Structure formats: structure tokens, C-alpha cells
């Protein structure tokens, strides 16, 4: 079963719940089946790695962990504040997302 999510890869979002509350970042990846997203610079975790081609030294690296999409809110392109997302048909008859606060279409 496929679920429509209010965020997509490349969107600017703000964390509204959890340890990273208030932080903003760009969505790097969306896992639709798990309803989770990876946001740049948010929800960092430390991971021990063995030396390999990309990291010849090995050691501890910081990487982003997934966050549930219910804890993320899209940032309005007009005002720069968090907003709910709606869907409507545009003039060309295509279903598009829009910001509920400003009414502006989200690209």
C-alpha cells in the first residue's frame, strides 16, 4: 500500500517534535514505506566505521538518522515559517501541493 506524504526530497523542513525540535534543514531522502525522512544536519548519530576506501583512517563518523514525517513540517516558501500542506488542481489540471498559510504553490 502506497501512502502520500506531505514532504518530498529537496524540501526545506522544520522539526516540530523530539530532540531536534526547532531545527531546520533540507530533506535528503524519503523512505515512503517506513514514513521516515533524512534531513540534512538534523538527528545526527555517531557511527563507528572500519577503515575502507572512502575513509582510510576509520573511526567514528557522524551521520543523519531518519525522522518520522509526522515530526516534520514544511517551510512556507513565501514567509519562511512552518505551514501545513494542501493539494489542489492548478490551472493546467495537475494536482500540486500548496502552502496553507500563504496559498503559494510548492515547487
**Domain 1-75 - what CATH class?**
mainly beta
**Secondary structure (H, E, C), 53-78:** CCCCCCEEEEEECCEEHHHEEEECCC
Question: CB burial class (10 A; 0-12, 13-18, 19+) of residue 23?
Answer: middle
Note the pLDDT of residue 107: 83
Please list the residue range(s) of the chain that carry CATH number 2.30.30.30: 1-75
Dihedral sign, Cα of residue 17, residue 35, residue 66, residue 104: negative
On average, the pLDDT of the chain sits at 94
pLDDT tens per residue across span 52-88: 999 899 999 999 999 999 999 999 989 999 999 999 9
Amino acid at each position: 500500500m502506497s501512502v502520500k506524504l506531505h514532504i518530498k526530497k529537496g524540501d526545506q523542513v522544520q522539526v516540530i517534535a523530539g530532540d531536534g525540535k526547532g531545527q531546520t534543514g533540507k530533506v535528503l531522502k524519503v523512505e515512503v514505506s517506513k514514513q521516515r525522512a533524512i534531513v540534512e544536519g538534523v538527528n545526527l548519530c555517531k557511527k563507528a566505521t572500519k577503515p575502507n576506501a572512502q575513509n582510510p583512517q576509520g573511526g567514528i563518523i557522524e551521520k543523519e538518522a531518519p525522522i518520522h514525517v509526522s515530526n516534520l513540517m514544511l517551510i512556507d516558501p513565501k514567509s519562511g515559517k512552518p505551514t501545513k500542506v494542501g493539494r489542489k488542481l492548478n490551472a493546467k489540471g495537475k494536482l500540486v501541493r500548496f502552502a496553507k498559510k500563504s496559498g503559494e504553490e510548492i515547487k
